[in-house]
Structure 1
Amino acid sequence: MPATLEGQITMEKTPSYWVTKSAPKRVYAMNPAVKLIAVVRDPVTRAISDYTQSASKRSGLPRFEDFVLLNTSAQWGGSWSIDASWPPVRLGIYARPYRRWLRRFPKSRLLLINGERLVADPAAEMARVQDFLGLKRVITDKHFYFNSTKGFPCLLKSESKAVPHCLGKTKGRNHPQINVSVIKRLREFYKPHNEKFYQLSGIHFRWP
C-alpha cells in the first residue's frame, strides 16, 4: 500500500475483517487511531444474497432450504431448526464480531451503515461517512440515480458530467423464492441476536 501523505486518507476494504477473530487485535496493533466502517443489512436478506451469489457460480446447487435446515426431511412446520453453523446464517449474527471489535476500539471509531438505507437513500448514508471521516460533504444526492434494472442506486462521478458507475455483474441478482415457513423461522432465529446487536450498538435497525 502506498504511503499516506499529509492531508490524505487511505482507505482499504476487506469484508472478511469483520468476522476474522484475529483482525481487531492486528488492526489495533497497526494503528489504534484507525476509523472503521461496516455495512450491515437484514441478516435474512444477507443470507439469501450470500446463497444467491454461490448459486450463480455453481450450477445444480441444492436449494437454500436444504442448507438452512438441520433436518431437511422434516415437513414444513415440523420439529426442524435453523443450521446456525452454515456460514450464510452464521455471518448474520452481528453481535459476535461487533463485540470483538468493541474490545479494541471505542464506538466512536466504529461507524455502522444501514444497508437498507444505503440503497433507499445513499446520499444520507454517504453524508454520515463523510462526517465520520472528517471530510467536506462533497458527495450529495446529485451524485446518485436509481438503476431500475439492477435495483440499486448508481453513482455519477460528477454533477456536470453524467458518467455513471454502477455495481458490477455480481450485484443486483434476483433472489430465489424461499418457502415462507423457512423465512419465518429464520426471522425467529435472528430476533434475539438482532436485539443483542441493537443493544450493543445503540442503533435499532428495525429488521423484521
Structure 2
Amino acid sequence: GGGEEEEEVEVVVAVGPGMEESAAAAAAAEEVSGTGTGGQQRLPQAIIIGVKKGGTRALLEAIRAHPAVRAVGVEPHFFDRNYEKGLEWYRELMPRTWDGQITMEKTPSYFVTREAPRRIFSMAKETKLIVVVRNPVTRAISDYTQTLAKKPDIPTFEVLAFKNRSLGLVDASWSAIRIGIYALHLENWLQFFPLSQIHFVSGERLIIDPAGEMGKVQDFLGLQRLVSDKHFYFNKTKGFPCLRKAEEGSPPRCLGKSKGRTHPSIDTDVIHRLHKFYRPFNLMFHQMTGEDFDWEQDEHPGMG
C-alpha cells in the first residue's frame, strides 16, 4: 500500500465484557496451533472502499477491536493498482481466520476507481462494502493539507480549487474536489451492488459518537455489538476518541493521530463557494442513500 496511507482519525480499544472470553479463546486456540498459524487465509468478506480522508483508518482500528474481525494493516490497493497480480496474491496478504471470523481490508481509493465495483463483484458478489463519508468541503481541505505536508511547493488551495476564481468556477477535475462528489462515484457501485450491501458511516459521527456509529457497523456485518462505549475514551487535548487496545500491553490508538495537522487558513468566500458547489451533489447522494449526513447545517465547519 503506497505512501498514500490514510492517517485520518485519533481511535483507542479496552476489552468489554464478553470480549475477554472470545479473545482469550482465540488466543488459546492460536497457542495450541503454534505461532498464530491456525485458521486459513480467506479473501475478504467485507471491504472499506472509501473515502480518502473520511476516517477509514479510525474505522478499521475500531472494528479490529472486535474478536470476530481480522484485518490487513496496510492498504492492499488490489482492485485499483495490483489487480494483475491475481486473487492468490491478494489472498496471501490476508490474516488467518477461524470459521465465523470476518476478514477485512481498507483501500479508500477503491471508491473512486471505475473498475473496482466490477472487479470486487467478480471476486464475490455478496461482498459487504463500507464507505466512510465526510463533509466534502472539509474532506477536500484535509486532502490538500496532507498533500501540502509532503509537497510544500504546490499552489495554494484556492488556485487549485478554481478554474476561474473571479467567476467562481470550481475545478471538478482536481482530485481533492472530485473525490467528494459522492453521488457520481456511488452510481458506479450501484450498477453492481444493491444499496443493502453498502453501509455508509458518517466520518463526523464516528468522532463525536464512536460507539453509536460502530454499533451500526457491527449490525451491518452481522456481528454481536461487542465494540461499545467501554472501548472509547476521549483525548481531552485534541478531542478525538481513543480506542483502549484489546491486546494486552499494546499502546492505546487514537482515531486521528496526525490529526494535529494545522490546516492552512482558507478564505471563507472560498469555503462558501465550495459548499454551494457541493450542495446539489450532496442532495443527490442523500436521495440515493436515503441517509442524511447533516452537511448543510455545517455551513461553517470546524476546520477539522
TM-score exceeds 0.5:
yes
Do 2:211 and 2:232's aligned partners in 1 also have CA atoms closer than 8 Å?
A: yes
Distance 1:159 1:29, change over 3 A: closer
Q: Using the TM superposition, give the Cα deviation of residue 80 of structure 1 relative to its aligned residue in structure 2, in angstroms.
A: 2.8
Residue number in structure 2 paired with 1:126: 214
Q: Using the TM superposition, give the Cα deviation of residue 167 of structure 1 relative to its aligned residue in structure 2, in angstroms.
A: 4.3
Residue number in structure 2 paired with 1:198: 286
Q: Quote the Cα distance in structure 2 between the aligned partners of 1:168 and 1:202.
A: 28
Residue number in structure 2 paired with 1:103: 191
Which 5+ residue runs of structure 1 have no aligned equivalent?
A: none
Instruction: Please state whether the residue corresponding to 1:171 is helix, strand or coil.
Output: helix
Instruction: Give the partner amino acid of 1:32.
Output: K
Q: Quote the Cα distance in structure 2 between the aligned partners of 1:94 and 1:82.
A: 16
Would you say 1:181 and 2:269 are equivalent positions? yes
Q: Quote the Cα distance in structure 2 between the aligned partners of 1:158 and 1:192.
A: 42
Question: 1:76-155 to 2 correspondence within 5 Å?
Answer: 79-155=167-243
Instruction: Please state whether the residue corresponding to 2:170 is helix, strand or coil.
Output: coil
Distance 1:105 1:172, change over 3 A: farther
Residue number in structure 2 paired with 1:51: 144
Q: Quote the Cα distance in structure 2 between the aligned partners of 1:181 and 1:99.
A: 30
Identical-pair percentage: 55
Q: Quote the Cα distance in structure 1 between the aligned partners of 2:232 and 2:141.
A: 26
Under a length normalisation based on structure 1, what TM-score does the superposition of the two structures give? 0.90
Instruction: Give the partner amino acid of 2:213.
Output: E
Instruction: Please state whether the residue corresponding to 1:111 is helix, strand or coil.
Output: strand
Do 2:112 and 2:179's aligned partners in 1 also have CA atoms closer than 8 Å?
A: yes
Question: 1:23-62 to 2 correspondence within 5 Å?
Answer: 23-62=116-155
Which 5+ residue runs of structure 2 have no aligned equivalent?
A: 1-90, 297-304
Distance 1:162 1:28, change over 3 A: closer
Distance 1:149 1:62, change over 3 A: farther
Q: RCO greater where, 1 or 2, for CA within 8 Å and sep 6 or more?
A: 2
Task: Report which stretch shifted further, 118-127 or 141-150.
Answer: 141-150
Instruction: Give the partner amino acid of 1:31.
Output: A
Do 2:135 and 2:295's aligned partners in 1 also have CA atoms closer than 8 Å?
A: yes
Count of matched residue pairs: 203
Residue number in structure 1 paired with 2:103: 10
Instruction: Please state whether the residue corresponding to 1:36 is helix, strand or coil.
Output: strand
Instruction: Please state whether the residue corresponding to 1:66 is helix, strand or coil.
Output: helix
Do 1:53 and 1:170's aligned partners in 2 also have CA atoms closer than 8 Å?
A: no
Q: Quote the Cα distance in structure 2 between the aligned partners of 1:158 and 1:167.
A: 15
Q: Using the TM superposition, give the Cα deviation of residue 136 of structure 1 relative to its aligned residue in structure 2, in angstroms.
A: 1.1
